[in-house]
Amino acid sequence: MDIHRTLVIIFFGIVLSVNAVDYGSMESKQVVRVGVILDSASPLGKMANSCISMALSDFYSINANYRTRLALSVKDSVKDVVKAASAALELMNKEQVQAIIGPQTSTEADFVIDLGDRAQIPIISFSATSPSLSPTHNPFFIRTAQDDSSKVTALTSIVEAYGWKKVVLICEDSEYGTGLIPYFTDAFQEINVRVSYRSIISPNSNQFEILKQLNMIMARQTRILLVHVSALLGSKLFSLAKQIGMMSEGYAWITTKGLSISLLDPMGEKVIDSMHGVVDVRPYLPNSKRLQDFKTRWHKINSGRNIDLDMFGLWAYDTVWALAMAAELVDQQLNPNALSHNISTNITSTSTSTELFDLEVSEWGPELLQMLLRANIEGLSGEFRLMGGQLQARDFEIINLRRKLGERVIGHWTHLNQSLEIDRKAIIWPGHTKVPPKGWVNPVFGKRLRIGVPVASSGFKEFLDIEWDPHTGEPSFSGFTYDIFVAALDKLPFALPHKLIPYVNRSKQSNGTYDDLLCQIKLKKLDAVIGGITIVANRTKYVDFTLPYKQSGVSMVVKVKKDEMDNMWVILKPLGWDLWLAIGVAFVFTGIAVWFLEHHTNEKEEFKSPPGQKLPGTILWFSISILVFANSEKLENKWSRFVLVIWVFMVLILTQSYTASLTSMLTVPKYRPAVADINELRRNDYFVGFQKNSYVNNLLTEQLKYPESRLRSYTSLEEYDDAMSKGSKNGGIDAIFDEIPFVQLFLAKYGSSKYKVVGPTYKSAGFGYAFPIGSPLVSYISKAILNVTQDPNKMEVLEIKYFEQGTKCEDSFSADDDPSLSVYNFSGLFIIIAIASIFAYLTHLIKPHCSWSATNAIHPDSSLSLWSRVTKREKPCHMDHNNLHAKAEVSVNTNEGDHLQNPPTAFSQEIVDINQVDEEDEIHNIDSGLYIYGCA
């Protein structure tokens, strides 16, 4: 012990001698006193002290012209919180320091921070990384390092990358260790990973206490261990873990930067050898020439001192540079005389113990704090910039610890993109293997997994069948569900010893419902359950399910009845009532369109009569005659012919469709459901059947609110068929509610001509296997099930083996299905005929309107209504022979009154034409009162 104290005194003497170097007439410089609190016996304390001394020497050798000089006063905390606090009080009261670098640990810093707040002196720590020490809540605390919470995401990303679902958290019982637990818990919760166990170990624990914790961890299932302890405790932990076989294949150890090799080196090769295969995370250190030169000088100075350099030493170096620069900036702003009094004066009087807590408030501390917070320099560790009172977050390196090769970088985590890049092939895991641990093992060695198997109903052996050996009484299993499970086990990356246990009573009959069987997992009597277990919400409260290996849902099956077509109105059934109505409207519409188009040009009596006389009869007869192609009227207007072509096309399609539909109805029997939906079942108080012990009972009573007194359970397809054949009135049922796979079997056996699926399908997640909540086997079995079900060849073999042909359930039959054609089926045709008729009529109407406009220009007094122009027939330009000369004379006199030299050519030509027509006998009966002058 005396030798140790002597070495410490000599060490501090060397440090003080270095600090006493004259940097160029110290008397002319403003001396800024700075305290340093370290554990000088620890590897970290030795390394930090050396880096601080080198930083002070390097800074003032480069900046010799600065007016200020840092004068360091180093105190030893001796790994004790009280000693660290006492050293801080001494530095503040007796030596009147303006800042304190340290203390070294988070626990020590927690005490000193309060003193710094009272004295308004910055407490600057490069190694107190616990996130519970928040610069936000402690304004005079500055952390020139990254806090531990900044690397949580990088650590959890490794767990997520390998798909591990459970981890064990090992933390030191100190401010450093426990402060990170809430951050880990929240981060793992976000990626759906459970912290199955927390092992809190005191830093002062002996070997027996540490072994007790390790044995508790080894007895559990989880093999992914996340360690956050100090270097001293970590060296003990890993040495003991290797002794009891926990550094072997199957384990994954992930540590934080508190366990770097640089800190473990002084503890011997045995400690490093015990950590072979450990994955570590540390801040990324950008390489530079300045850093390489510093490392070279470092090794020369500390070649015989058995200490190594790491990130903490570089942060200590950069801290001194930032503090020295801040002191120079403060000196430029404050009064030099005031500085001389507050900084340089040494107090030699001794204070009493009660006066030690009567701290004097520093006048220079707040200014120094502000300058430090603004620091932005390029240090050995990279960019030195404080955000929120601590070093800003950086990228991380993923390190793999090797027995001989030391630390090897095998990946990176980028802070900006929150992304992980890792070379999985380069990682050597414990046990000297490159195979990643699966993260889980059976905690009780030699014991097989207890898997419960339900006893299937006698009529559904295709899914799961249990046969008992008559001699040994041992069960044998077969069926679709069992084969899927066996195939999934073959896909697992590890062997899974298991024992299938039928859920039966003494008489080898079912011992309860499926829910009762699943409760055995919750009671820890079974480790898993396989079979046709439907995944429903209320069951997930006490078990976890794998992904479904077969889709499911509940459907309703009813009897079918044949449509009777031997009635007097069967001829109306091919077309729906809406289609009959639409055809009638189309008849009338088309007839009106053709009549208007032919009214102006066609000489036949049907088209030249006034609208009120023969229009209805003409329209109806014309449209109906076209329907049977009996129309003999000659159409003279080209637009009416265009409409007729479209109408004939439509009539042809309608007649052919009617014929085909009627033929189908009279020749092919139609089967319709006897019950439309569950509402009809309720109205008629019908009985409903379901499979015994299935969850369908709860579905009917709780979700569908069907009376439980009207439910009957069955155990086979034959019982289903017999009960449905009898009906509710004869002691049977009128509907079956069961899951789709069983409905498929039922319909495949008895055919769709006898039974139909009606109504909606009540969805469920499907059939799956059940495990305890949080079991890591769920993810492995689920992946294996996907590999099996996505193999088409494998599934085809199983389907043919157990279900043969015709197991696909037919499309659901709805009571609303109607074989009659509706107006929607021919809506396109109706739209076409309507557009064609309107287009033709409007085109025909616009052309005569132009002629009437020209006539009105010649005869302004002629004013006929639009309806008159449309309906009034334009007669040929004929005139009664007896009145010819009189009218001509009147016209000539009129022209003479207007001083016209020559009669209009059109008028003269008209007289000639009229004389020619007058020779024919049939013109004498023409009504001259309908004559219109100027007709062409």
- CA 53 – CA 16 distance, rounded (Å): 10
Same domain for 256 and 403? yes
Q: Which range in 295-304, 644-653, 908-917 is most confidently predicted, on average pLDDT?
A: 295-304
What tens digit of pLDDT does each residue of 751-786 get? 767 888 888 888 888 889 999 988 878 888 998 999
pLDDT confidence of residue 6? 41
User: CB 472: neighbour CB atoms within 10 A?
Assistant: 7
pLDDT confidence of residue 342? 42
Same domain for 74 and 155? no
Residue 615 makes CB contacts below 8 A (sequence gap 6+) with 592, 595, 609
Domain assignment present for residue 931? The answer is no
- Is 336 a residue whose pLDDT tops 60? no
- Is 716 a residue whose pLDDT tops 90? no
Domain assignment present for residue 471? The answer is no
Span 354-373, mean pLDDT?
77
Please give the mean pLDDT across all residues of the chain: 77
Residue 627 makes CB contacts below 8 A (sequence gap 6+) with 587, 651, 655
The CATH number that applies at residue 36 is 3.40.50.2300
User: CB 238: neighbour CB atoms within 10 A?
Assistant: 27
For 654-665, letters b (16+ CB in 10 Å) and e give beebbeebbeeb
Domain assignment present for residue 297? The answer is no
Split at pLDDT 50, 70, 90, the class of 863 is: very low
Same domain for 157 and 273? yes
Same domain for 402 and 329? no
Same domain for 217 and 364? no
- CA 921 – CA 930 distance, rounded (Å): 18
Residue that is last in its domain, among 379, 406, 422: 422
- Is 271 a residue whose pLDDT tops 70? yes
What tens digit of pLDDT does each residue of 592-626 get? 777 667 666 655 555 555 555 555 555 566 656 55
What is the side-by-side order of every strand in the sheet holding 141-143? 68-76, 30-38, 99-101, 123-125, 141-143, 390-391, 382-387, 376-379
- Is 268 a residue whose pLDDT tops 60? no
Domain assignment present for residue 60? The answer is yes
Top pLDDT among 390 and 340 is at 390
Same domain for 253 and 183? yes
pLDDT confidence of residue 622? 61
Among the ranges given (223-227, 247-251, 648-652, 850-854), the one the predictor scored with the smallest mean pLDDT: 850-854
For 98-121, letters b (16+ CB in 10 Å) and e give bbbbbbbbbbbbbbbbebbbebbb
Split at pLDDT 50, 70, 90, the class of 308 is: confident
pLDDT confidence of residue 684? 87
The reply to whether omega before 611 is within 30° of 0 (cis) is: no
**What are the tokens at 822?**
């509706």
Structural domain range at position 581: 570-600+617-667
Same domain for 261 and 409? yes
pLDDT confidence of residue 129? 87
Span 574-598, mean pLDDT?
74
- CA 934 – CA 372 distance, rounded (Å): 109
pLDDT confidence of residue 198? 92
Domain assignment present for residue 538? The answer is no
The total number of structural domains in the chain stands at: 3
- Is 262 a residue whose pLDDT tops 90? no
Same domain for 233 and 281? yes
**What are the tokens at 305?**
């001192």
Tell me if 43 sits within 8 A of 49, measured CB to CB. Answer: no
End-to-end CA distance of the chain: give it in Å, rounded.
Answer: 140
pLDDT confidence of residue 604? 57
- CA 454 – CA 457 distance, rounded (Å): 9
Split at pLDDT 50, 70, 90, the class of 84 is: very high
Domain assignment present for residue 447? The answer is no
Domain assignment present for residue 663? The answer is yes
pLDDT confidence of residue 37? 94
- Is 372 a residue whose pLDDT tops 70? yes
Alpha-carbon torsion, ordered 710, 716, 719, 725, to 10 deg: 90
Same domain for 78 and 131? yes
What tens digit of pLDDT does each residue of 796-820 get? 888 888 876 444 444 444 444 555 6
Residue that is last in its domain, among 391, 412, 433: 391
Same domain for 274 and 370? no
- Is 172 a residue whose pLDDT tops 50? yes
What tens digit of pLDDT does each residue of 410-431 get? 999 998 888 889 988 889 999 8
Percent of the chain predicted with pLDDT > 90: 24
Helix (H) or strand (E) holding 390: strand 390-391
Split at pLDDT 50, 70, 90, the class of 98 is: very high
Same domain for 186 and 231? yes
Residue 931 makes CB contacts below 8 A (sequence gap 6+) with 875, 877, 878, 879
Same domain for 399 and 278? yes
Span 721-738, mean pLDDT?
90
- Is 652 a residue whose pLDDT tops 60? yes
Span 386-409, mean pLDDT?
85
Split at pLDDT 50, 70, 90, the class of 258 is: low
Domain assignment present for residue 735? The answer is no
pLDDT confidence of residue 910? 42
Residue that is last in its domain, among 347, 373, 391: 391
Q: Which stretches of 271-381 are assigned E, i.e. beta strand?
A: 279-283, 376-379
Tell me if 30 sits within 8 A of 336, measured CB to CB. Answer: yes
**pTM flag (> 0.75):** no
Identify the CA nearest to 237 among candidates 265, 264, 257, 262. Answer: 264
pLDDT confidence of residue 463? 82
- Is 220 a residue whose pLDDT tops 50? yes
Residue 834 makes CB contacts below 8 A (sequence gap 6+) with 589
Top pLDDT among 37 and 642 is at 37
Helix (H) or strand (E) holding 755: strand 755-763
Q: How many CA atoms lie within 13 A of 90 on its CB side?
A: 14
What tens digit of pLDDT does each residue of 452-484 get? 998 866 567 788 888 888 888 888 898 888 999
Pairing outcome for strands 475-478 and 68-76 = unpaired
Percent of the chain predicted with pLDDT > 70: 72
- Is 906 a residue whose pLDDT tops 70? no
- Is 203 a residue whose pLDDT tops 80? yes
Top pLDDT among 806 and 664 is at 664
Top pLDDT among 200 and 830 is at 200
What tens digit of pLDDT does each residue of 491-544 get? 887 778 889 999 988 888 888 888 999 999 999 899 999 988 889 888 988 999
